[in-house]
């Protein structure tokens, strides 16, 4: 077993994590340390701070939206809207970017969300040909067909904020805080173009592509362009993250939303979390296999690290679960290749070009990962948290399909 890359003594993240991690003298990562704040901070005054911010943006006349809330058919959308509308009493305009490869349960959850919370909603759907051209281009450039979706999700709310002159955008969790501890909760980090470009979008923006690609002209991509500093400052746009003000526990939050509002769950191909990205046909399939090839780990590891930090999984249990999912086969490849118009050989050789040389070495013609989940028992025991388990994810039946006799919309294109 080759261990030349350190892993955390508490969770399972390697120091090669693409968002960046630092380890302290106990061998515990910054993500785990910032996570400890969830149990040390007093969240009552933090929620009061959130209420104070909300009050600054509440429309006195009641004639306009108070904030923009990005949503999808999964990932804490119900919880975020419940906080914004029911707990803060704001009038939100919900917005979403159509990634094109949506699942039935995702459509159902999004339609049901708009219905049960009774909100206005705006969706952006980029032209199908442009999305495919962009997916093929970013596959080559960055080993990602899903880049367009991240670009769209992170900019459509900002464009709407500018266009409708709604200065406040309310996001859920900031990944840099929740996953790797890049910032403390107390930093109250806000949305920025810098973070989007350098972390979400791997260092380049849609604006950078138009000069390089003849088949992706500017007029096709303006839907993904970030508003200018002048436009942002004229409206005073700012984006806040709820996980700086609420003790963020996505598993518990989804379970509350299942009980209270009929959120639906779905089993996933390559992770045990049945709640988070179930609206995407590829996120826990081919997209996750790509993530594993590039960085040496997939979503199962992200989810396992989170569950270790909440004390719902031991490091040993988590490592066994992760090993099983990192080897799991995928069933969505054919659909994806068909959509991209690529054969399997071409597709996977493009991905191979982006296999991280930091994380993998070739031995005997096979890739060997340069970190392992094995750790001395003593280090693991010393840094282990009190177990609060179990770590079980609920499976809902599609209750909603009986109650909603029609779908408000289906996938974003017709093939
Ligand atoms: Zn850790």
Condensed to tens digits (0 to 9), the pLDDT of residues 178-200 reads: 999 999 999 999 999 999 999 99
Q: How far apart are CA 76 and CA 171, in angstroms?
A: 10
The residue that leads in pLDDT, 136 or 1, is 136
The verdict on residue 110 lying in a domain is: yes
CA 253 to ligand 1 center in whole angstroms? 22
pLDDT in tens, 88-143: 999 999 999 999 999 988 988 998 999 899 999 999 999 989 999 999 999 999 99
pLDDT band at residue 405, thresholds of 50, 70 and 90? very low
Q: What whole-number distance in Å separates Cα of residue 13 and Cα of residue 175? A: 14
Any idea which residue has 């089993």 for tokens?
Answer: 267
Compute, in angstroms, the gap from residue 195 CA to the centroid of ligand 1.
22
For residue 400, name the pLDDT band (cuts at 50, 70, 90): very low
Give the rounded percent of residues in the chain with a pLDDT score beyond 70. Answer: 95
Full DSSP string of 47-73:
HHHHHHHHHHHS-SSS-S-SEEEE--S
Q: 126, 338 in Cβ contact below 8 A?
A: no
Distance of alpha carbon 95 from its chain centroid, rounded?
A: 16
Q: How confident is the model at residue 406 (pLDDT cuts 50, 70, 90)?
A: very low
Whole-number Cα distances in Å, 243 to 53, 106, 249, 289, 397? 14, 23, 9, 28, 29
Please indicate, yes or no, whether residues 235 and 283 belong to a single structural domain of this protein. Answer: no
Alpha carbon of 415 to ligand 1 centroid (Å): 44
Taking the whole predicted model, whether its pTM rises above 0.85 is answered as yes
Looking at mean pLDDT, say which of 203-212, 322-331, 400-409 comes out highest.
322-331
Do both 104 and 223 map to the same domain?
A: yes
Position 412 pLDDT exceeds 70: no
**Claim to verify: residue 188 and residue 282 sit in the same structural domain:** no
Q: Which residue has the tokens 């969300």?
A: 113
Q: Which secondary structure element, helix H or strand E, spans residue 253, and what is its range?
A: helix 250-261
C-alpha–C-alpha distance, residues 255 and 262, integer Å: 10
Average pLDDT over residues 209-235: 90
14 and 296 Cβ atoms separated by less than 8 Å: yes
Give the domain extent around 93.
43-248
| Residue 368, φ and ψ in degrees, nearest 5 | -120, 130
* Average pLDDT, integer, range 326-350: 95
- Region 294-316: mean pLDDT is 97
Answer yes or no: do 360 and 285 share one domain. Answer: yes
Whether residues 178 and 317 fall in one domain: no
Let me know if residue 34 belongs to a domain.
no
CA of 29 to the centre of ligand 1 (A): 4
14 Cα to the center of ligand 1, angstroms = 8
Question: Does any domain span residue 414?
Answer: no
Residue 214: per-residue pLDDT: 74
Q: Is 191 left (phi over 0), alpha (psi -120 to 50) or beta?
A: beta
295 plus 243 within the same structural domain: no
Predicted pLDDT at 413: 44
128 shares its domain with 232: yes
Examine residue 270 and state whether it is found in any structural domain, yes or no.
no
pLDDT of the residue at 410: 52
Q: How far apart are CA 26 and CA 379, in angstroms?
A: 8
Tell how far the Cα of 131 is from the centroid of ligand 1, in angstroms. Answer: 36
Q: Are residues 174 and 309 in the same domain?
A: no
What does the mean pLDDT of the chain come to? 93
pLDDT classification of 1: cutoffs 50, 70, 90: low
Comparing 114-118, 209-213, 386-390, which segment has the lowest mean pLDDT?
Answer: 209-213
Nearest to 120 by CA among 93, 95, 157, 96: 93
Amino acid 401: pLDDT: 46
Do residues 77 and 204 both lie within one domain?
yes
From 248, 266, 290, give the residue that closes a domain.
Answer: 248
- Residue 205 pLDDT > 90: yes
- 24 Cα–ligand 1 center, Å: 10
Number of domains the chain contains: 2
Cα–Cα distance, 39 to 60 (Å, whole number): 36
Answer yes or no: is pLDDT of 404 > 70. Answer: no
- pLDDT tens digits, residue range 230-247? 999 999 999 999 999 999
Residue 392 within any structural domain of the chain: no
Model confidence at 62, pLDDT cuts 50, 70, 90, reads: confident
Torsion of the alpha carbons at 54, 57, 58 and 62, rounded to the nearest 10:
-160
Summarize the confidence of residues 363-383 as an average pLDDT: 94
CATH code where residue 175 lies: 3.40.50
pLDDT for res 398: 58
Structure tokens at 130: 């442009």
The number of helix segments (H) and strand segments (E) in the chain equals 19, 7
Q: Which residue has the higher pLDDT, 63 or 174?
A: 174
In this predicted structure, the answer to whether residue 145 has a pLDDT above a threshold of 50 is: yes
Does residue 25 lie within any of the structural domains? no
Is 97 in the same domain as 230?
Answer: yes
Asked if 237 and 179 sit in the same domain, the reply is yes
Ligand 1 centre from 10 Cα, in Å?
5
Pair 83, 171 in one domain: yes
Residue 35 lies in a domain: no
Angle at 388 between CA 313 and CA 26, to 5 degrees: 60
User: Who surrounds ion ligand 1 at CB < 5 A?
Assistant: 8, 10-11, 29, 32
Look at residue 292 and tell me if it is in a domain.
Answer: yes
Per-residue model confidence as pLDDT tens digits over 257-277? 999 999 999 999 999 999 999
Residue range 12-30: mean pLDDT, rounded: 96
């Amino acid at each position: 077993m080759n261990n030349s890359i350190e892993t955390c003594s508490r969770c399972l993240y390697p120091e090669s994590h693409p968002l960046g991690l630092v380890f302290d003298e106990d061998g515990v990562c910054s993500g785990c340390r910032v996570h400890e704040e969830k149990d040390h901070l007093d969240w009552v005054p933090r929620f009061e701070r959130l209420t104070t911010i909300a009050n600054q943006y509440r429309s006195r006349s009641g004639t306009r939206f108070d904030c923009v809330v990005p949503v999808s058919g999964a990932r804490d959308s119900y919880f975020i809207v419940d906080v914004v509308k029911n707990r803060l009493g704001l009038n939100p305009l919900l917005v979403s970017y159509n990634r094109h490869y949506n699942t039935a349960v995702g459509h159902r959850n999004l339609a049901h969300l708009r219905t049960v919370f009774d909100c206005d909603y705006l969706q952006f759907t980029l032209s199908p040909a442009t999305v495919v051209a962009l997916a093929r281009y970013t596959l080559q450039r960055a080993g990602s067909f899903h880049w367009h979706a991240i670009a769209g999700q992170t900019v459509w709310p900002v464009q709407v904020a500018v266009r409708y002159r709604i200065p406040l955008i309310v996001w859920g969790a900031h990944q840099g805080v929740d996953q790797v501890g890049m910032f403390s909760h107390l930093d109250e980090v806000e949305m920025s173009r810098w973070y989007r470009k350098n972390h979400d979008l791997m260092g380049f923006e849609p604006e950078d592509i138009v000069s390089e690609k003849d088949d992706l002209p500017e007029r096709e991509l303006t839907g993904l362009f970030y508003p200018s500093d002048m436009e942002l400052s004229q409206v005073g746009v700012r984006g806040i993250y709820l996980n700086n003000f609420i003790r963020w526990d996505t598993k518990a939050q989804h379970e509350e939303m299942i009980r209270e509002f009929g959120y639906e769950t779905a089993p996933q191909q390559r992770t045990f979390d049945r709640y988070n990205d179930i609206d995407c046909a590829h996120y826990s399939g081919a997209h996750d296999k790509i993530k594993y090839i590039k960085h040496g780990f997939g979503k199962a590891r992200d989810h396992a690290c989170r569950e270790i930090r909440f004390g719902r999984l031991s490091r040993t249990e988590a490592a066994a679960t992760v090993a099983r999912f990192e080897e799991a086969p995928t069933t969505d490849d054919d659909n994806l290749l068909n959509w991209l118009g690529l054969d399997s050989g071409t597709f996977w050789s493009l991905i191979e070009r982006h296999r991280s040389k930091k994380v993998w070495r070739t031995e005997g013609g096979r890739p060997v990962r340069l970190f392992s989940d094995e750790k001395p028992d003593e280090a693991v025991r010393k840094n282990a948290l009190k177990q609060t388990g179990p770590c079980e994810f609920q499976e809902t039946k599609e209750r909603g399909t009986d109650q909603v006799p029609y779908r408000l919309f289906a996938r974003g294109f017709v093939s």
